[in-house]
Amino acid sequence: MILAIESSTPCGSVALVSGGKLLGETVLPRENQVSETFLLAIDRLLGGAGGPTIVTHVAVSAGPGSFTGLRVGMAAAKGLCFGWNLPIVPVPTLHALASRFRTEEALVCPVLDARKK
């Protein structure tokens, strides 16, 4: 079972995935401060699925994306992995976006708004 943490975009999310299937997900609304709600969302998600003992890996967005968001997600993932003695799997944000289209034969070029003027 993989606990996935996404914090590179304005809306953070946490999910439980097993065998490529999404078992549960919590999306944090834009209004919320991700840093204040991330661990609560993880606790609620795991509480409904049997607790942290079911997790075998923690995947976390590794960027590009919001600098502060990435730091929050990575710190949460590292803390959980240290406490639970689990491996951490950094996932590039653009690879995660492109993976939705992995069955297509076309070239996929994911992009994110850099919000530069």
Tell me the pLDDT tens digit for each residue of 10-67: 788 999 999 989 999 999 876 656 677 888 999 999 988 778 889 999 999 999 988 8
- Give tens-digit pLDDT for 101-115: 877 678 888 888 777
C-alpha distances in Å from residue 115, one per residue of 10, 28, 55, 66, 77: 12, 21, 35, 10, 26
Per-residue tokens: 46: 């795991």
Confirm if 97 and 29 have CB atoms less than 8 A apart. Answer: no
Give the predicted TM-score (pTM) of the model.
0.86
Tell me if the bond preceding 64 is cis, omega within 30° of 0.
Answer: yes
Strand partners, 27: 13
The domains found in the chain, sorted by start residue, are 2-92 (3.30.420.40)
Radius of gyration, alpha carbons of the chain: 14
